[in-house]
Structure 1
């Protein structure tokens, strides 16, 4: 059972998937920072100095013993922007990869040297040449 587990883990697809998940997580953090720290403040400024993180509908006010209950639709809007930016980035990366793959497939193959003639062909060629010379 341990050997089967080792074989599964060491397959190329599993390792590639693990690397992709790790890189995807890091990429997600970068995009979240881009949205929260750069894009949303600019969009908020252009829309009249709105801070999207503070946009909410308060259901019940906070008291000493109970925290505030609110619908934070500003955070939801930021998540949508995060998703759209990540989707666009992945779309463009895939587009570039597909273009590179197509170029690689379209590259002409190096001309192959003709296969070496078999012993029978060599013998028949020699016989033909002898008959021609007579």
Structure 2
């Protein structure tokens, strides 16, 4: 488990541009799913811990609203929800890219010596074999 978190840290800090591009695409695709998951599945039980106050409504009021004056507040509850969204998206992207890299490393395995022979070289090899057989037959006559 420690190795998993170390790899996640390395990915988050040192990820290359392709990994980041894939992360943006996948993150965008998962955004609606993760937002719904957080708002409709994760946050309701958390609101029970905060005395049935929706976490998104939590804020620190700097200036109360008055007649003609708007309220000024720091909305830390929304920050918590967005942070949970981010963590879920980042972990999902990490797992997907880790799987892709595993397949990539297997494809680039230096121990795998199987090389597909190009068609033209294979045909030349067959012609060479046929010519050798023909020469052997001509020598026997």
The alignment's TM-score, normalised by the length of structure 2, stands at 0.57
Partner of 2:28: 25
User: When the two structures are aligned, how many residues end up with a matched partner?
Assistant: 112
Cα distance in 2, alignment partners of residues 98 and 24 from structure 1: 18
- Unmatched tracts of structure 2, length 5 or more: 1-20
Cα distance in 2, alignment partners of residues 116 and 62 from structure 1: 89
**Deviations for 1:43-79, whole angstroms, at most 9, x for unmatched residues?**
2324654531122110001123222100111111111
Residue 82 (structure 1) aligned with residue 85 (structure 2): yes
- Unmatched tracts of structure 1, length 5 or more: 1-16
Q: Which has the higher contact order (CA 8 A, sep 6+)?
A: 2
Task: Choose 1 or 2 for highest CA Rg.
Answer: 1
Residue 63 (structure 1) aligned with residue 66 (structure 2): yes
Superposition CA RMSD, Å: 3.7
1:26 positional shift: 4.4
Following TM superposition, where does structure 1 have runs of at least 4 consecutive aligned residues deviating by more than 6 angstroms? none
Residue 95 (structure 1) aligned with residue 98 (structure 2): yes
